[in-house]
A and B are shown apart, each in its own frame.
Chain A
Amino acid sequence: MTSAGLAHDLLAFAEQHAAGAHDVDPWGFDHGMYDLAARAGRLRWAVRVDGAEHVPASGPALLVVNRRFGFSEPAVVAMGVHEATGRRVRPVGIADVPVLGSFLRRLGGVLDAPAEIRGLLRAGEVVAVPCSRQPLHADLPGVLRSTAVRAALDAAAPVLPVAVTGNELGLAWRVRVGAPVAVPSGADLDEVAVVLADAARDALAALLASRAADH
């Protein structure tokens, strides 16, 4: 994608929005704006994705993602998975503040609210939920809360660990998608969600460790 091509897309985007002919979903996602931002992002970043075959071709999925500072990871995962699989990813964890929050919603972001995650998974979307930030330990996943995992259980969505490595100031990022985490058996879904969240975090830790070994 050249900057001339980007300018052409920008013009087409402006025409479409001036006519009100674009689509916005109930969570505020504007596909046209996302496509434009992703093309601009590709001028800045190169994202390599492994294990994309684990992402289902249709239906809901919950991606459990590590993050260091958390600035670039949501965009990198969304761009990489979309490019590799055609599935649009909904990163969880935007702030509900004027201007910035609205802009990030347009790009597919949603609040870290159980109702938002439940609704998206019920609608068959791919949702990326981050572990807590680990600025000093890039090869360790942070803490994963079980509420998002519980929503995945309710929607019968597979839970996939996704390891992201890269440098905020660098150009190249790598995304590795792991196999779906096996769902433990149990009658109490809240307890199952806690065990599944731990298993997903362990799978993500293993994925990050294997990446470190590769290097």
Chain B
Amino acid sequence: MRTLILGMGGHLGTAVAKRLDPDPRVEMLGLDIEPPRRLLHRAEFHLVVDPTSARAAREMVQRIVEFAPTEVVHFGVYEPHARANPHAAHARSLAFTKAVCDAVAQLDTIRHVVVRSGIEVYGRRRGAALSPDEHVAPAPTTGYGRTLLVVEESMEALGRAHRIPVTRLRFAPVAGPHIPSPLTRYLRLPFFVPVGALPDPPFSLLHIDDAADATVAALARRADVAVNVVGAGAVTAAQAVRIGGRIPVPTIGPGWLLARLAAGALGSPLPEHVIELFTRGRTADGAHARDVLGFVPAHTTLEIVRDMYHWPSVTFHDIAIADAA
């Protein structure tokens, strides 16, 4: 099994690679803008400094074609204000998607594609179901949701053209220790946290370990389907903030502009899809994952929120380069 992991340098990509690493039948190639965060024995990694440049695109396609993968895991999808600003996140997501499409057009080795998407694709228009299942047509209402849908549809079209099953994993917002998530970063702001006034709608989360396990399950099943993967239960923003011992500040309309400025000044920029989560809610029906992937997330949303306030902070150490080498 020759597995290409786009986005191997992210926490999720690394977590999936770690799960595949012990299998002696697996060879992996990783591409990302950052190196993997763990030692991997069966992975070759190619750093892509600027995936939006023409040269990097050519190199990525060449690397992929040389590697001739049998499985593709596309995690090269970037959330705004997680590791990049919204414009860069969108451009990088599309660049990695185009590289996969260009490479697959030259290969006949690929048997299965797994692509990371999100429940943001459903959007939260007035009258839209708060907890949509996979029968609901995607209609994103934020930039991130639109990016996810473009990536998802590109891979779906690729699969149709080349008769390759494509599993589209629509994750709830992924959370876990050290993960750069604008949502969890914001909820952990000190003292006062602006949240939706009325409404204070519910949202669901997915633990990173569950997201990685779902991906491994998807690789095993090879289903050509879109599936929601969501931690059980839900919380509201005010409830989460109180669990964390902070004080929720009910916010409406223009108040979000001030909240955005204040959060940005405190190092926690607030993208529009997170504001939408606070004002319109974001959950989805994940029951289908049990049938399609044979998988049920181990962590509930409430457990993730409770753990979130006990995650250790990143500690920086001054180490001389000679010592590190």
Contact = CB atoms under 8 A, between A and B. Distances in A.
Interface of A: 17-20, 22-28, 96-99, 101-103, 105, 110-111, 113-116, 118-119, 122-123
Nearest to B127: A96
Contacts, number: 90
A13 to B, nearest CB: 13
A102 B200 contact: yes
B127 A103 contact: no
Contacts of A122: 133, 285, 287
B322 interface: no
Interface in B131-155: 131-133, 135-136
Contact of B128 (A17, A22, A113, A123): A113
Contacts of B236: 24
Contacts of B130: 26-28, 105, 110-111, 116
Given A113-B127, A115-B129, A119-B133, A26 B234 contact: yes
Interface in B211-266: 233-236, 238-243
B133 A25 contact: no
Given A24-B202, A102-B199, A102-B201, A113 B234 contact: no
Contacts of A115: 129, 131-133, 135-136, 285
A22 to B, nearest CB: 7
B204 interface: yes
A112 to B, nearest CB: 9
B269 interface: no
B136 A28 contact: no
A17 B243 CA distance: 10
Interface string B9-20: 000000000000
B198 interface: yes
B184 interface: no
Contacts of A24: 202, 234-236, 239
A101 B131 CA distance: 15
Contact of A98 (B198, B242, B302): B198
A128 B265 CA distance: 48
Nearest to B242: A20
B201 A28 contact: yes
B129 A113 contact: yes
A20 B243 contact: yes
B25 interface: no
A28 B131 CA distance: 10
Interface string B113-136: 000000000000011111111011
B283 interface: yes
B7 interface: no
B159 interface: no
A26 B133 contact: no
B118 to A, nearest CB: 16
26 contacts: A17-B239, A19-B242, A19-B243, A20-B238, A23-B233, A26-B130, A26-B233, A26-B234, A26-B285, A27-B130, A27-B202, A27-B283, A28-B202, A28-B234, A96-B128, A98-B199, A99-B198, A101-B199, A102-B199, A102-B200, A103-B198, A105-B130, A113-B129, A116-B129, A116-B131, A119-B129
B236 to A, nearest CB: 6
A23 B129 CA distance: 20
Contacts of B133: 115, 118-119, 122
A22 B239 contact: yes
Contacts of A110: 130
A114 B235 CA distance: 23
A117 B235 CA distance: 20
B281 interface: yes
B239 A119 contact: no
B128 to A, nearest CB: 7
Given A20-B239, A119-B133, 6 more contacts: A20-B242, A24-B234, A102-B201, A111-B129, A113-B128, A113-B129
A28 B128 contact: no
A27 B235 contact: no
Interface string B150-191: 000000000000000000000000000000000000000000
